[in-house]
Amino acid sequence: MRTRRSLLLSLGAVPLACANAESPAAKPIERPDWSGFFSDAGAVGSLLVADERTGSRGTWVHGLERARRRYTPASTFKIPHSLFALDAGLLKDEFQLIPWDRVKHPTPAWNGDQTLRSAMRNSVVWVYQRFAEELGPQREAGYLRAIDYGNAKVTGNAPFWVEGDLALSCIEQIAFLRQLYRNELPFRVEHQRLVKDVMIVEAGRDWILRGKTGWSGKIGRWVGWVEWPDGPVFFALNIDTPQRLDDLPKREAITRAVLRSINALPPA
């Protein structure tokens, strides 16, 4: 196993291959039949699915132009942000306690000490805001450039991954997830494996669903993949959320329905 240096020693390195490039072989095919999943949910958005299972390979999309458009990653950024924190030594492992600052939050699960696992599971914003403060904008931008993550901008309102200028497309999301799945990001392999472990949403006898939701107030996202013995199925969704909290369950509902329609998830 190859050991990689901390990115802190090489933030000026050449970025990974451009994540928003579409190879002709992997150009997404529009799925008009998926529009029903969106209309039934009363949602407007895009869903990109890259199926790498043996015998069922393909890349399909509802809303290709929107899948190419960059939007705020919101809390889906917690995936790479966790890698940054581990690489920088802000976290040692999944057991390290992250002390609560005693600020009361409207989400009860946020009001207490956290670990990486609980911070990811409950999408605890203050934990990642603390990481951002400790890393600083220069190191954050360096990490983003090194993994070629969207436009790599850390400017604008805070947090920059929700209210600021950071943005990436569904196509770029899946390019990033593919590299994480294969432990090909420029981080220690054990850190990539740990982040994948805390991304687990649910699992069956022969499959594992890993993912992370996100919400900016206007855009809802869900990204991740389903692992099967014969390969992974990656997904990246974004939808408009004009009804705000009422629209949030639609992220998983639409994605799960589509994945079941291609046998990438078991029946409900």
CB 233 within 8 A of CB 218: no
Catalytic residue among 10, 35, 39, 75: 75
Q: Token pair of 142, please?
A: 């360096």
**Strand, helix or coil for residue 188:** coil
Measured in residues, the chain has a length of: 268
* Coil, strand or helix at 251: helix
Q: Mind giving me the DSSP string for 86-111?
A: HHTTS--STT--B-------SSGGGS
* 213-to-30, 96, 194 alpha-carbon distances in Å: 24, 23, 18
Told to judge if 75 belongs to the known catalytic residues of this protein, a careful annotator would answer yes
Q: Which residue numbers are catalytic?
A: 75
